[in-house]
């Protein structure tokens, strides 16, 4: 074995610097408070790689693209092509969780149902759609077929479909990003290649095959699938690579959610201010979705929003990246962690360096959880609220439990001076996927969850 393979240090030296690594490497669930977390000042905001201006522009672009989305996907007619999810009070689920874990979750608990977003049934309908539509628009502009600011709904026409069919899009995915890019890419007329990691569920590959997407299966994990997609795109200038690890547009597509949530909170009369803190729990793969939404929320709610990321104990790449501040330079396997989890959307061994650097001072902390709990929560949510979400999405659900249960979580509340206002807190669990999962798989997931619920209390 090489002595110092990891950014000039051995594993042992890293463990000496960060004792919590012992637990992480033993696959024990941890709650890590981010020591780099800073007040969201003007100065901090202006130092970030993504600006408020860019997010506002993205917000306008998304609104403009809705003209196309409404025509191309008639199921979005009622929302006029704006793909947005509901924010729902899940008071029965809160009670179920409080009973099961024997604690009190102070404040109210809401679910943001990106699990049920139109067209692609996951959070990827934000980032993936934005990226593909931006690319389509760029191509049309470059070729003199379209002027920025005019009506994008003409992308629906035969002429544009024929034009886009000369081009291809490639992407690496654990499943949902491929679905999102594949569904929209094909509808626009592009050829689409999805490089799937070994974790990808069969039904996601079948669905893509059925709409004419070329699915390339890899036996390795997500990082490898991305690498292969990138390689393929390098060979042909007509292939555009959607780079989940580095794409700013993908990130901007997610960040738009901040402004959207603000509107929704207002509509529902939910206050977020100096005496009403907002806690948001986000499942995290490479970090793009969670990171984009965190930035969007921070720009609006500043220090009154507290964002926590959730990762499986077997795939804590963003936790490792943020803690060591090495971001993409580490993969979980470097620390002897296998990246094997039932949470396919989170089975990512290497974090995005771009995202890590944007959010390193914005995210309040990261916690990890076991797969067993993903299934317990899945069965509990179905039973209490009649809502199904895929296992990955439930990484967020345990957030409020962990905030009040773990020593580090309690410390965070105290240190931020929030103890006296927790009864007025709002907790939002960001549900990230599930509505497209076939019924028989939903049933198997629920049965598995019931099984875990019946024989263990933790
Ligand atoms: C992609 C995905 C995530 C995480 O998104 P990243 O951008 O990889 O961090 C979470 N949940 C589900 C269901 C997903 O598909």
The pLDDT score that the predictor gives to residue 6 is 73
Asked if the domains at 11-120+251-453 and 124-250 fall in one CATH topology, the answer is yes
Separation of CA 432 and ligand 1 centre (Å): 7
Gap from CA of 283 to ligand 1 centroid (Å) = 6
Q: How far is the CA of 392 from the centre of ligand 1 (A)?
A: 8
Strand 365-369, strand 305-312: pairing: parallel
Q: What is the CATH number of domain 11-120+251-453?
A: 3.40.50.1100
DSSP-derived 3-state class of residue 164: helix
Pocket of ligand 1, candidates 342, 346, 374, 396: which has the most ligand atoms within 8 Å of its Cβ, to mutate?
346
Closest alpha carbon to 263 in 429, 399, 86, 428: 86
Mind listing the pLDDT tens digit of every residue in the chain (458 residues)? 445 567 788 999 999 999 999 999 999 999 999 999 999 999 999 999 999 999 999 999 999 999 999 999 999 999 999 999 999 999 999 999 999 999 999 999 999 999 999 999 999 999 999 999 999 999 999 999 999 889 999 999 999 999 999 999 999 998 999 999 999 999 999 999 999 988 889 999 999 999 999 999 998 888 888 999 999 999 999 999 999 889 999 999 999 999 999 999 999 999 999 999 999 999 999 999 999 999 999 999 999 999 999 999 999 999 999 999 999 999 999 999 999 999 999 999 999 999 999 999 999 999 999 999 999 999 999 999 999 999 999 999 999 999 999 999 999 999 999 999 999 999 999 999 999 999 999 999 999 999 999 876 54
Determine the distance separating the centroid of ligand 1 and the alpha carbon of 13, expressed in angstroms. Answer: 31
Integer angstrom CA distances of residue 398 from 230, 282, 293: 35, 10, 19
As assigned by CATH, the class of the 124-250 domain is alpha beta
CB 65 within 8 A of CB 129: yes
Q: In angstroms, rounded to a whole number, what is the distance separating the alpha carbons of residues 176 and 383? A: 25
Tokens found for residue 458: 């933790």
Confirm or reject: Cβ of 432 under 6 Å from ligand 1. Answer: yes
* b (16+ CB within 10 A) / e for 153-165: bebbeeebeebbe
> What is the domain partition of the chain in residue ranges?
11-120+251-453, 124-250
pTM given for the model:
0.96
Residue 114 Cα distances to 174, 223, 377, angstroms: 17, 24, 17
pLDDT of residue 4: 59
To test the ligand 1 pocket, which listed residue (115, 117, 124, 126) has its Cβ within 8 A of the most ligand atoms? 124
Type and span of the H or E element at 247? none
SS3 string, 379-432, reads HHHHHHHCCCCCHHHHHHHCHHHHHHHCHHHHHHHHHCCCHHHHHHCEEEEEEC
Evaluate whether 142 touches 304 at the Cβ level (below 8 Å).
no
| 368 touches ligand 1 (CB under 6 Å) | no
Closest Cα to atom 1 of ligand 1: 345
Q: What is the pLDDT of residue 221?
A: 86
């Amino acid at each position: 074995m090489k002595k110092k393979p990891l950014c000039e240090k051995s594993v042992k030296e890293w463990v000496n610097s960060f004792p919590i690594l012992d637990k992480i490497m033993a696959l024990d669930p941890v709650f890590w408070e981010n020591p780099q977390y800073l007040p969201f000042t003007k100065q901090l905001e202006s130092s970030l790689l993504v600006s408020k201006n860019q997010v506002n522009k993205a917000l306008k672009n998304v609104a403009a693209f809705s003209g196309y989305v409404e025509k191309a996907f008639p199921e979005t007619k009622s929302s006029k092509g704006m793909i947005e999810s509901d924010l729902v009070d899940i008071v029965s689920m809160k009670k179920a969780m409080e009973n099961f874990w024997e604690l009190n979750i102070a404040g109210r608990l809401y679910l943001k149902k990106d699990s049920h977003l139109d067209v692609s049934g996951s959070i990827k309908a934000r980032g993936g759609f934005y990226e593909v539509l931006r690319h389509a628009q760029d191509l049309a502009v470059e070729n003199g077929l379209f002027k920025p600011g005019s009506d994008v709904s003409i992308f629906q026409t035969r002429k544009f479909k024929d034009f886009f069919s000369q081009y291809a899009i490639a992407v690496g995915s654990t499943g949902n990003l491929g679905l999102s890019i594949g569904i929209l890419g094909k509808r626009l007329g592009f050829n689409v290649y999805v490089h799937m990691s070994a974790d990808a569920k069969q039904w996601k590959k079948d669905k893509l095959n059925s709409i004419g997407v070329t699915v390339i299966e890899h036996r390795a994990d997500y990082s490898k699938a991305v690498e292969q997609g990138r390689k393929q795109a390098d060979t042909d200038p007509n292939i555009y690579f959607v780079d989940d690890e580095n794409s700013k547009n993908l990130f901007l597509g997610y960040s738009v959610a901040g402004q959207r949530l603000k509107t929704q909170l207002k509509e529902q009369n939910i206050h977020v201010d100096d005496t009403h803190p907002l806690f948001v729990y986000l499942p995290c793969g490479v970090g793009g979705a969670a990171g984009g939404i965190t930035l969007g929320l921070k720009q609006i709610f500043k220090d009154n929003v507290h964002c926590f990321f959730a990762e499986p104990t077997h795939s804590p790449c963003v936790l490792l990246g943020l803690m060591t501040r090495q971001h993409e330079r580490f993969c979980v396997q470097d620390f002897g962690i296998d990246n094997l989890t039932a949470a396919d959307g989170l089975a990512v061994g290497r974090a995005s360096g771009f995202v890590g650097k944007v959010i390193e001072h914005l995210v309040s902390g990261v916690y990890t959880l076991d797969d067993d709990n993903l299934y317990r929560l899945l069965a509990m949510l179905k039973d209490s609220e009649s809502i199904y979400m895929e296992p990955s999405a439930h990484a967020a659900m345990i957030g409020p439990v962990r905030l009040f249960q773990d020593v580090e979580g309690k410390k965070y509340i105290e240190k931020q001076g929030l103890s006296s206002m927790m009864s007025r807190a709002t907790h939002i669990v960001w549900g990230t996927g599930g509505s497209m999962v076939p019924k028989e798989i939903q049933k198997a997931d629920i049965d598995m969850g019931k099984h875990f619920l019946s024989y263990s209390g933790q």
